[in-house]
Amino acid sequence: MNVADKTGALASLWLEFKEDKDFAEFIKYNDIGLPLAYFTAEGLLNELTPLGEQYILESFKLFLTLINVSEEEIDEVLEDKTLGAILMFGYNKKNAQPE
């Protein structure tokens, strides 16, 4: 996934789930990476610094860990790399695993 895909997914996550109690700890911990991803995705920043990109990449990595999906799986399986597609992929993967 490229940085634009990651910032788009994280921006949507921040907007749609910032008040969700199930994501509260994740949102709180990523209090820099998520808004920064939103600002970047919306074109409100001219350019990301290396540190800014690091915050976004860390937030994205933690998000994937939270939903038990790897970036490689996303790249292999999903053409649509939006938040909805990633969440649905994670949901389907979890439900396909035997208990």
Can you tell me the distance from the alpha carbon of 75 to that of 1, in angstroms, rounded to the nearest whole number? 6
> What pTM was estimated for this model as a whole?
0.91
Tokens linked to 7: 């910032």
pLDDT digits (tens, 9 = 90+) for 8-57: 999 999 999 999 999 999 999 999 999 999 999 999 998 999 999 999 99
Domain boundaries, the chain: 3-96
Rg, C-alpha atoms of the chain? 13
What DSSP element (H or E) covers 75? helix 71-77
* pLDDT tens-digit map of 47-98: 999 999 999 999 999 999 999 999 999 999 999 999 999 999 999 999 987 7
CA distance 34 to 31: 6
Q: Tell whether the torsion through CA atoms of 32, 70, 83 and 65 is positive or negative.
A: negative
Amino acid at 94: K
